[in-house]
Chains A and B, each alone.
Chain A
Amino acid sequence: MNKIFALTKKELHSYFCSPIAYIILIVMLSLFNVFFFLVIDQNREVSLRDVFQLMEFMLVFLIPLLTMRLFSEEKSNGTMEFLLTAPLTHTMIVLGKYFSMLIFYSLLIGLTGIYYLIVEYFGEPDPLSMLSGYLGIWLEGAFFIAVGLLASSWTSNQIIAAMVSYVILFFLYFSSSFTQYVGGSAEQFLIQLSTHTHLENFAIGIITPSDVVYYMAGIVLCLVLTRLSIDNRLWH
């Protein structure tokens, strides 16, 4: 556990030593704030439902920028050899990197907590519904980070890692839009595959086991595939 913590610390240190972390935080928060005020101004509701859905859409674009360097940079700098010949299991390396991004993302989402206070100032929002929405958007980001980590383990090129992440995340996000071309079980499959379907429930205050399992299964699957990718040295 100490070694995982050391890896997590190292990743966060690298992020905050460069302007990347601050730029991403400022860009993401600025976008979230603009959309928050637009939505609240237009809807005049004491609910963040539409805000969460807009945040989800923006995460599709922004998470790959966070994750693209995780393994790609280690590979191109030659430090992957250092990690893989140290007395660390591959699982420790994957979890160390994953947790670092999760902490960074949690900080970002935590900073949007002020939205609740603003809404509460103007009305009486349902705190449980808000909490459910925040849990949903946090799980969604955690899933997207796992996807980005996997894509980064496949290549030593950060741009390629980001592009592969975009392809996967766009497909996950928009899969429910393809239902008009298929029918039957394929239609149901595409609906269930879409992240949009699962976040919708959280955003309106409904937490169902199937939605939680969807995100958890996605995260575990991506982390296991990342571990296998490192085991087999799939990057090029």
Chain B
Amino acid sequence: MLIVKNISKNFGSFQALDKVSFEMNKGDIVGLLGKNGAGKTTLMRTLTSFITPSSGTVNIDGEDISKHSLSIRQKIGYLPEKPPLYGDMTVQYYLNFAAEIKGVPKNKRLFQLAKVLEECDLEQVKQKTIATLSKGYKQRVGIAQAIIHEPKLLILDEPTSGLDPMQIQQVLALIKNQRDQRTVLLSTHTLNEIEQVAQRVLMIKSGQIVFDEPLDILLKSTDPSQLGPLTLEQIFINHHQPQASKNTPQTPETTHQVSNE
């Protein structure tokens, strides 16, 4: 579904992405972890054609992004870190506009609109102006615009950022429900969110992928210093501390990944 090969991106002398490579299969939900400034947003913007990579290739559903950007954008649903909403529009008007510019045929538009309103639990606020909605609702409207054209690949940049615990659970449940319909790449700082929805974890540090493991293998890894299961939080800290090696997991796969760092 998604093949990323040796993507690099330079902003002047700053290298935001450094030969990033990974693949995602149909139906995967992959969590992208990394500190602020690690390159998560740059990577996601590259996958959505918002940023052109300095080198490397991105292939989505068999098409090269540099040659078929427009048809690839038709297959992608994207929620940026800040939901891209027009405060003066009602939820219904905005989603109808999103459907129009994303090429949903006129005869299917009403059906799709009703579907995402129900899926994202927005029915009761559909006539409200977006500016008057709570942050949780705004985030759900953001997700609704991303899925209204039935994309094959859904890219969510920190979809739970700034939400209260209840709202986070609602958004995570919504993401989980996408599993059967599309491939999902989501970034977050909150590790337990990844544990709840993702099957695989990608960790990015200084523009490089330093960790790419299925979640179940990762969580079975043992922490030699604590004689217990290694949590995502510990792995995250290990990878972002200079003296990380003492807490590295003992599976051959993760040992290999860490030694690459």
Contact = CB atoms under 8 A, between A and B. Distances in A.
Contact of A87 (B70, B83, B93): B70
Which residue among B80, B86, B88 has the maximum number of chain A CB atoms within 10 Å of its CB?
B86
A85 B78 contact: yes
A109 B2 CA distance: 52
B159 to A, nearest CB: 15
Contact of A78 (B78, B82, B98): B82
Contacts of A181: none
A18 interface: yes
Contacts of A7: 101
Given A6-B97, A82-B145, A85-B50, A18 B88 contact: yes
A81 interface: yes
B40 interface: no
Given A17-B88, A79-B86, A85 B101 contact: no
Interface in B93-115: 93, 97-98, 100-103
A85 B76 contact: yes
Contacts of A14: 86, 88-89
- Do most interface residues of chain A lie in helix, strand or loop, or is the interface mixed? helix
B84 A79 contact: yes
Contacts of A17: 88-89
Interface in B15-65: 45, 48-50
Which interface class (under 10, 10 to 19, 20 to 34, 35 or more) fits A? 20 to 34
A84 interface: yes
Given A78-B82, A79-B86, A86 B102 contact: yes
A79 B97 CA distance: 13
Nearest to B78: A85
B84 A2 contact: no
Contacts of B88: 13-14, 17-18
A87 B102 contact: yes
A84 B69 CA distance: 11
B80 A84 contact: no
B230 to A, nearest CB: 36
B251 to A, nearest CB: 37
Interface in B112-166: 145
Contacts of B73: 85-87
Nearest to A86: B101
Contact of A81 (B84, B86, B87, B101): B84
A89 interface: yes
A100 to B, nearest CB: 13
A65 B84 CA distance: 24
Interface in A53-89: 77-79, 81-89
B71 interface: yes
B74 interface: yes
A23 to B, nearest CB: 15
Contacts of B100: 2-3, 6
Nearest to B142: A82
Given A13-B93, A87-B71, A87-B73, A82 B103 contact: no
B72 to A, nearest CB: 8
B78 A10 contact: no
A3 B89 CA distance: 18
Contacts of A79: 84-86
A85 B48 contact: yes
B84 A78 contact: yes
A81 B83 CA distance: 10
Interface string A1-36: 011001101100110011000000000000000000
23 contacts: A3-B100, A6-B101, A13-B88, A14-B86, A14-B89, A17-B89, A18-B88, A78-B83, A79-B86, A81-B78, A81-B80, A81-B84, A82-B84, A82-B145, A83-B101, A84-B49, A85-B48, A85-B49, A85-B73, A85-B76, A85-B78, A87-B73, A87-B102
Interface of A: 2-3, 6-7, 9-10, 13-14, 17-18, 77-79, 81-89
Interface of B: 45, 48-50, 70-71, 73-74, 76, 78, 80, 82-89, 93, 97-98, 100-103, 145
Top 5 A-B pairs, shortest CB-CB distance: A82-B84, A6-B100, A87-B74, A78-B82, A85-B48
Given A17-B89, A82-B80, A83-B101, 20 more contacts: A6-B100, A10-B89, A10-B97, A13-B88, A13-B93, A14-B89, A77-B85, A77-B87, A78-B82, A79-B86, A81-B45, A81-B78, A82-B84, A84-B50, A85-B48, A85-B49, A85-B76, A86-B73, A86-B101, A86-B102
